[in-house]
Amino acid sequence: MSKPPVHSIRFGLVKANIWENETRKGTFYKVTLVRLFKDGTAWRESTRFERDDLPLVAKAADLAHSWIYEHGRRAGHE
């Protein structure tokens, strides 16, 4: 099983997941941005966004950047 994201930011159906990667060189973070949608009764994720999703994508990406920056400072990275 894969590890869950260390932090998620959600605005409506747009979500940014922050993933932590431990390496010999230290801790690094990566971000995935997805749009949730319902396919019948199941919830799915897409990496394609509509025009009206883009302001939420930008806001989620900005907050993900701030979260990573703050946690990187605590870990001694800048």
Residues 13-62 have pLDDT tens digits of 999 999 999 889 888 999 999 999 999 999 999 999 999 999 999 999 99
**Domain assignment present for 45:** yes
* CA-wise closest residue to 19 among 30, 27, 34, 10: 30
> How do 42-46 and 7-11 pair as beta strands?
unpaired
**Domain assignment present for 33:** yes
**Domain assignment present for 2:** no
Confidence of residue 11 (pLDDT cuts 50, 70, 90): very high
- DSSP label at residue 77: -
**Domain assignment present for 66:** yes
**Domain assignment present for 35:** yes
**Domain assignment present for 50:** yes
Strands across the sheet containing 7-11: 7-11, 14-23, 26-39, 42-46
72 vs 20, more confident: 20
Residue 33: domain span:
7-74
User: Which pLDDT value is given to residue 46?
Assistant: 98
Query: In total, how many domains does the chain have?
Result: 1
